Every structure is written in structure tokens, then in C-alpha cells.
Chains A and B, each alone.
Chain A
Amino acid sequence: MDNNAVRVRNLLKTYGPRTVVDGISFDIVRGETFALLGPNGAGKSTTVEILEGYRRRDGGEVSVLDEDPGRAGLAWKARLGIVLQTTGQPAPYTVREQLIQFAGYYPRPRDVDEVIDAVGLTGLAGRRIAKLSGGQQRRVDVALGIIGNPDLLFLDEPTTGFDPHARREFWQLIRRLQAEGTTILLTTHYLDEAAQLADRVAVIDQGELRAIGPVDTFGGDDARMPVVSWVESGVAREVRTDEPLAVATALATRLGQAPEALEIRRPALEDLYLAMLDRASEHDDELEMAR
């Protein structure tokens, strides 16, 4: 058994003359949570749908749970859990009916009531899905994704439309799945969500992999250099330094008092991500100009 749940090498996908995935390679280790980030139209969804077996690739090698998704059968699908981005019309069934139906497709499903509890729909199990709020319907989607007790879970923008409280609860649910050893591939627009949940992140832009690495060291030391900011004579100032404490102390000594609105922070994943995409588009602009 391969130690990687997912292995992608030089993945290529074209639609007519357009190359939407251009030579992407990455691995996802078993038990890991891997976040795929990138702007809309970057090739994230196409990549994920190739891994899920929905689409055929035009080049490269892909292995998901030791099988080629382009050829794998129903037994392989039984080991996946997929939470799609859009799930269309809510069915005219109750939450429990829908989960019982889907549980029946899998060889070793989770307990239906346990899953309903886990996604926080306990009191609503007997209600028709169409009568639930958008956020509650999204939890049904997640419940359907995990009902088969998957080894590998795909989460495509799972918390879009959640209120902050529901999002926190969802994160708790994902942490429980992580603790049970589920491998997770997460795509999300919320960088804080990726920072909270993922072990590693990768950024895809214009069909190419721009960066990949552990959340803790993402973007490299330079980009992650802490920022010391404060307000002096009504003017906001900031300094980037790898010795923030020394800078702050020196500052206090110079001012003869604690600096106003003093803050020391590391750039968040979101800052690093946006800076990276900005650099990429500036680079493209330069290329445009050079032509």
C-alpha cells in the first residue's frame, strides 16, 4: 500500500485550445488534510474532479487510494466521500430518509443517527431537506459525504454560506474526522479555514502550481517575517523584522512609554496568498509589456 492517498504527476487537462490544468504535481499523505487554494477559474475544481473520477485527464499520472480514477470501479468509489460545491435542488425527503438511502449504497456505512448528530442536525432529522435553511442543507451535504465512512474525503468549499458559529462547529466536525485518520482534500476560498484545518496547502493559479508547503512555513521565511506596527504622533507605522521583540523594546525605550496600539503579528495565510497572486499577475503584466 502506497503511503500516499493521492499522487499526482504532471497532470494535464485541456478543453479545446485552452489548457486549464498545466502540469500539476503533488502528493497527499494518508491521514493528512491538504488544502487546495486558488482564484476562481484557476483549475482547482477541474483537478479535484479528475481525482474524484468525474473527468478524464489529458496527460500525466494520477493515483487515488492506489487506483487510477479514470479506470477505478464502484468498490473504489465506496472508499471516497465527496461533498460537492453545488448540489442542486433539495430532495423531497427528510434528512434521515436521505441518509438511510445513501448509507445503503456503501458496504460499511456509519450509523445514520450518529452522523446526524455529528453535523448538528439532531432535532431536524425528521424534517424535509427542502424546508431547511441554506446552511442546514449544506450540513446535509456534508453528512452525505461522510455517511459511507470514507478513507478519503473531498470537501469543495464546504462552508460557503455558513454563519461564523456554524463554521466553527463544522471545523470541530472536521477535526474529529482528522482524529479518526480520514485523509481530506479541502478546496476553499476562506484562507483562515485552510489555516485552521490543513496540514499543508497548495496554491493553483492559471492551471499551474504556484506554491506548496506546510501551513506553518507557507510562503517562506521572508514572506512570513513578522510585522511590528504602532501609532506614533497619530501616524500608523510598521516595521518588518525577524526580531520583533527587540524592535518593540527599543521602541518603548525611545518613546519613554509603551507605544500606542502596539501589535506584533505574522502575516496570515490570506496575506501571503494575496501577495503571491499579486506578484504572479504583475509578472504576467510584465510579460505582456515585453511582447
Chain B
Amino acid sequence: MNTMVQGARRAGYEIRGYVRSTDAVFFTFLFPILMLGLFSTVFGGEGAQSYGQGLPALTAVQMYLPGMLAAGVLLSGLQNLAIDIALERYDGTLKRLGGSPLSPVSYFLGKIGLVLLTGVTQAVALLVVASMVLGVDLPTDLASWVTFFWIFLLGLATSALLGVAVSAIARSARSASATVVPVALVLQFISGVYIFFWLLPEWLQGIANLFPLAWMAKGMRSVFLPPEYAVLEQSGAWDLGHVALALAIWSVVGLVLSRITFRWIRRDA
């Protein structure tokens, strides 16, 4: 019980600190919105078009929205947290916490609270901008939003756990961002965020499907694209069961790795 209370206190503390570091707010929070605006401007010149025979016409922004939502989940979970924790490990913040009676679980709960807040705010902002400014029609049925929420929350939890695990791999604070940012970027390119997934060669799709981002993006497409667009998927269907399975497996992998690798102090010190 005390662990939960401490976790809630940590979350409040983390959020306060996060809001005060404007650069972090800018990059994690505004980046997907900027990218969505950019892509829809660059590729949206021709207005709505159909992306396959007999498929309803869609605008570029509508096509990019699911991928951007998925990327936002990955960034606020994995990238943000991996760099954040690696920094705290290397500047001694974690060492000080490790010398206090704070439970590591409370520390993680605090981080997850922060990720949840930034992830939700980012997604809401993205949806508001897409619908109010860029003219995207959002789903109006409850079932779609239920799907959105479980994919969003499961994706965020998976990303956060993987972020904790990846932070332990980093040999220094600098190497954390040097490793995580390019990996996240490559994943975004091969997982259907910046390039439509069906345009990629099958073998590349196969590689992308080994990682969670492709599944998050696929899940998001099922929510925000018309059902007819399922024919563009490899299997011709949205496969939400597979999405859930893939994310569940990755969250267990993340949990186990975090549990094994987490240390308050750096390895070489």
C-alpha cells in the first residue's frame, strides 16, 4: 500500500519536474503534431484520394494520423523514459534515491504516471489538431474508441517497460540518446509511421512485425481508417487479436528485462 502511495507522490513530483523542463516538453509533446502537420502539408496537395481500387478517398492527414499516434506512444514511453532514466543513473539522481528507503517499484510507478500524463496529453492534442485544424473525421462509435483505448494503454505500458529495460543498456547518458533515437527513428520508418506500411517490401514488413511499433500502428489504423482499408494489410484483416498478443509479449519481455537489469548505480562506477 505504501508503495502505491509513494508511487503517486513520485508521479506528482516527476510531472512537476517535467513541466519545468521546457525542452523536454517541446520535443516529446509537439514533435508528432509537427510531423503530422508537415506530412499532411507535403503530401496533401492533391486533396482526398483513394489508395486502392474500390477504397473510399482519404486525405493525407487522415492516412498519417494512426501512425503518428502510434509513434507518439513509442516516443513518450520508450524513447523518453530510456533517456530520462539513463540520465538520472549517470548524474547520480538514482544513486541518491537508492540510498533512501524508496522502493524501486514506487520509482517506476512515478515514471509510469509521468508517461501516462505526457502520452495522454500528446494523443489528445494530436486528435484535437487533426480534427479541428486539419479536418479529419474522427470515429463516432463507442467500439472504435474502446479499441483505441486498449491499444493506447497497452502500447504505452509496453513502451514504458521497454524504456526502463533499454536505459540499462546505455553505457552513458549520451549513449542513451545516441542509441535510442536512431533505433526509434528506423522503427518509425519501417513500421508504417512515415511510409505507408503496404508500400514496404514484404521482408521489411516481416522485420518490422518483430517489434511492437508496427502492431501499435496497425491497431491505430483499424480505429481511424475505414474498414475497407483492411485489404491493404498483409493478411487483409486488422488482426486485433495479434496486436494484443504482440504487445502483451513485448510488455512481458520489457518487465522481465527491467526486473533483471535495473540498478540504482551505473555498472562501471
Contact = CB atoms under 8 A, between A and B. Distances in A.
A104 interface: yes
Interface string B65-102: 00000000000000000000001001111011011111
Nearest to B268: A15
A54 B100 contact: no
Contact of A88 (B20, B91, B99, B102): B91
B92 A54 contact: no
Interface in B13-31: 13, 16-17, 20-21
Please give me the 7 A-B residue pairs with the lowest Cβ-Cβ distance, nearest first. Answer: A88-B91, A88-B92, A82-B99, A78-B101, A92-B20, A74-B101, A77-B101
B99 A54 contact: yes
Dominant SS among interface residues on chain B: helix
28 contacts: A53-B99, A54-B98, A54-B265, A74-B102, A75-B101, A77-B99, A78-B101, A80-B99, A82-B96, A84-B95, A87-B92, A87-B93, A88-B90, A88-B93, A89-B87, A89-B91, A89-B93, A91-B93, A92-B20, A93-B16, A97-B13, A102-B100, A104-B9, A105-B6, A105-B100, A105-B101, A144-B96, A148-B100
Interface of B: 6, 9, 13, 16-17, 20-21, 87, 90-93, 95-96, 98-103, 264-265
A46 to B, nearest CB: 10
Contacts of A106: 100-101
Contacts of B9: 101, 104
Contacts of B21: 92
A86 interface: yes
Contacts, number: 59
A66 interface: no
B106 to A, nearest CB: 9
Contact of B96 (A74, A78, A80, A84): A84
A75 B9 CA distance: 19
B18 to A, nearest CB: 9
A199 interface: no
Nearest to B104: A74
Interface of A: 52-54, 74-75, 77-78, 80, 82, 84, 86-89, 91-93, 97, 101-102, 104-107, 144, 148
A80 B98 CA distance: 11
Contact of B102 (A54, A92, A105): A105
Given A77-B100, A82-B100, A107-B101, 20 more contacts: A53-B99, A54-B98, A54-B265, A74-B101, A74-B102, A74-B103, A77-B101, A80-B99, A82-B96, A88-B90, A88-B91, A89-B91, A91-B93, A93-B13, A93-B17, A97-B16, A101-B9, A101-B13, A105-B102, A106-B101
A180 B129 CA distance: 60
B100 A52 contact: no
Contacts of B100: 77, 82, 102, 105-106, 148
Contacts of A101: 9, 13
Contacts of A75: 101
A91 B98 CA distance: 16
A53 to B, nearest CB: 8
Contacts of A105: 6, 100-102
B90 to A, nearest CB: 8
A91 B265 contact: no
Q: Which of B17, B96, B265 has the most CB of A within 10 A?
A: B96
Contacts of B98: 54
A92 B22 CA distance: 11
A80 B91 CA distance: 21
